[in-house]
Structure formats: structure tokens, C-alpha cells
Amino acid sequence: MGRELREVVYVDGVRTVFGRAGEDGYFWRTRADDMAVKVVRELLRRNPELPPERIDDVVLAATAQVGDQGLTLGRDVALLAGLPQSVPGFAVDRMCAGALTATTAGAGEIAMGAADVVLVGGVEHMGHHPMGDDVDFNPRFVSERIVDDSAAVMGQTAENLHDAFPSLTREDADAFAVASQQKAARAWDEGVMDELVVRMAVFTDDGWTVTERDQFLRPETNLEGLATLRTPFRTAGRVTAGNSAGLTDGATAALLVSEDAADELALEPRMRLVSFAYAGVQPELMGLGPVPATKRALAQAGLAVGDVGLFELNEPFAVQVLTWCEGMGIAADDPRLNPYGGAIACGHPLAATGVRLMAQLAHGFREQPDVRYGLTALCIGLGMGAAIVWENTQNGG
């Protein structure tokens, strides 16, 4: 017997301030799961119309599923956040696309009628769990030439992109990085982030403090300063700390519901999920992943790239976004692209980032009600990409 799939809408999304990973970072003395608890509680506070017992599942992502972000993270955080014991939860891992994968997994539950309300998101404490720490890479990856050995080091994959696209220079990457910092600073100054970011009291070596702004913000960044930075992944390379995202701690959470549940609970939908896609590419060129993923998601939706009015792309490396621009025929300075800056300015706490992209897109939809479609996309380690097409509920959704 066939069944009709239900529409899935995004209601709200928040994130912590993103802190520097390590002993000098905001969250060095804060547990990862407590960061996730903070954003879940903030979602409930912001949406008092939602009875906690109506939450049908909690789907949270982490890349390093160990220590204080181990266990079954969705259930762990649900209990710690005070949700009823009847609310289940689970964890997912698709590296940098963790939160986007949590979103599409939760959306699948809703579309199939298995759930009405799902909390999704991600957390990454890169200070407690450095990338690749405690990972035992199978030696056959290299010995049998399944992947190039550079695939395990993200900065080297970015240098590989520069090799594959020699027209994309270090100067191009630095210019994109400067623009990202400037846009992010403007978004903070204009109050955009006041809606998207929840402050959090944390204990530090100097006592208690409240996180206020992302720790990697550098509004004074300029081309002259970036040109002096070293290239740690290759002698005379092109990838630097200035045109890359910093190692970051942070957490995100979003509220997804069925259209019927939104009406019943008087929740205001901000976006409707239209289509999504994941794609694989050469692991050593993992930054190319968003190009085929974007093309697949657009094809599913019956849209062309010109139909999309806002793009939120992750920025692990400037060159990665530039290759997406090259592949999609979008100018690097297109005003539709990352209008509030990106990870080069705020940081990239791996599995948490996807919801940051979604929250910024939802804000962009509200600021530009004439825009109908938007896209969130990012690249993923070991050669993958993810993309979701969203429809503005103010304009046809």
C-alpha cells in the first residue's frame, strides 16, 4: 500500500558561540554534551508553544564519538536537557556533514509519518578530541592505493585543490578570506548573530565568564597581513591559517516539524525542505564534494542554480568554496553567497556546522522575503559532499 510523504519544515535553529579549540579556548573546561544541552534548552525556551513531550526524537551528530561526546549522543543530551524519558535519541557521524545528516535523518522520520517533531544538531569539542585522535586508519587505504595518503590531512587536500585548479591562486583565497571576515563582523555589529547565537556561562582558568563572540573573528584582517602567513601543509604552498577555518569547539540544534504539527502547535515554519543529496569524489580532493551534491539536489528539485537566491556554503578552506564557485558558475563575490560570512571567520566545529548554515539561511530568507529558494552545502572528509535545497515559507513554501 502506497503512502504520501509529508512535508518537513524548519522552525528554529541556534548555536553556541564558537570557541578556539585548546587550552586558551572558551570551552576548554566545558563538556561537549553540556554545550549541546545548552542549545537544546535554548530551543525549548524560544519555542514555549512546543510541549517537550511532543518531541519524538533527538538526532545529534559528532565526528569524534568518544569521551564527553560519546554514548548515544541524542539520548544522552535529551536526558541531560530535562526532556521526558519518553523522548528517544540517537547519534550520527558523517564528519563535517554531521548536522546536515542529522537533519535529513530526522526529516525522513517526519516525512514517513514516524515522527511529528524532531530536534537535530551537532556538537564538536575539537579541544578535547582533536581531528583524527584515537582513529586507527586501515593501512590498506594507502598500501592498496584505495586513497592517496594526503586524503587524511584536510589541509593537504586543500593544497591538492589548488593543484587541480591552478587558476585559483593564494591571492584569490586570501581575498575571499578577507571578505568572509568583513561580512561576519558586519553581521555581528548589525545584530544578526544576536538571534542565532546563544551565550553560555563557562568556567575558565580565570573564573566564570560568559561567551560573547566567536573567538576567531578577525575584522582587522587584510591582504597584506595574510600574505605574510606561512603555509604549513606544503613548502611555498597556498593554504594558510588566514584562508582556512580554525579548529573550533561549538554546538548547534534545530527544530524540524511536519507542516501539520506546525499548524497544530502554532509554530511558525521558516523553511521547507525541498530536496537533498550526498555525493562522493576522490578522497584527496574532498573539497569538490559539494559540486556534485549541489547538482543532484537541484536536479531533484527541478531547479537551476539561477533559481537559488541564497547560498550558505561552509568555508573550511577558501579554495574549497572557490572550487564550488567554479563548478557552479558562481562568482566568488556573488552577494547571494555567505552574506553573513562563514567558517573562515567563525570557525568550523565539524559535525555542528550544518545547523549554523541552516540558521543563517533562515535569517537570510526573512531579510529577503522575495527570495524563494536557498541552499546549504559543505564538503566532507574522505571525499564527499552534502547539499540541501530549502524553500522560503514567506515565498511559496
Q: What are phi and psi of 336, to 5 degrees?
A: -75, -15
Which of 171, 141, 318 shows the shortest CA–CA distance to 243? 318
Handedness of CA 154, 200, 76, 259 (dihedral sign): negative
As a 3-state breakdown, the chain gives helix, strand, coil percent values, each rounded to 5, of 40, 20, 40
What pLDDT is stored for residue 1 in this prediction? 63
Quick: pLDDT tens for 82-139.
Answer: 999 999 999 999 999 999 999 999 999 999 999 999 999 999 999 999 988 888 888 8
Which of 304, 311, 321 shows the shortest CA–CA distance to 243? 321
Contact 211, 202 (CB under 8 A): yes
Domain ranges of the chain: 150-193+274-390
Q: What are phi and psi of 385, to 5 degrees?
A: -145, 155
Contact 22, 364 (CB under 8 A): no
What pLDDT is stored for residue 134 in this prediction? 80
Alpha helices in 2-97 (DSSP H): 32-46, 73-80
Residue for cell digits 519555542? 47
What pLDDT is stored for residue 396 in this prediction? 59
Burial of 253 (0-12, 13-18, 19+ CB in 10 A): buried
Residue ranges of the chain with pLDDT lower than 50?
397
Burial of 16 (0-12, 13-18, 19+ CB in 10 A): buried
Q: Which are the catalytic amino acids?
A: 96, 348, 379
Amino acid identity of 125? H
Give 272's contacts (C-beta < 8 A, 6+ positions apart).
7, 8, 9, 10, 259, 390, 391, 393, 397
- Give me Rg for the CA atoms of the chain: 20
Which of 22, 29, 40, 100 shows the shortest CA–CA distance to 68? 29
Provide the CATH number for the domain formed by 150-193+274-390 in this structure: 3.40.47.10
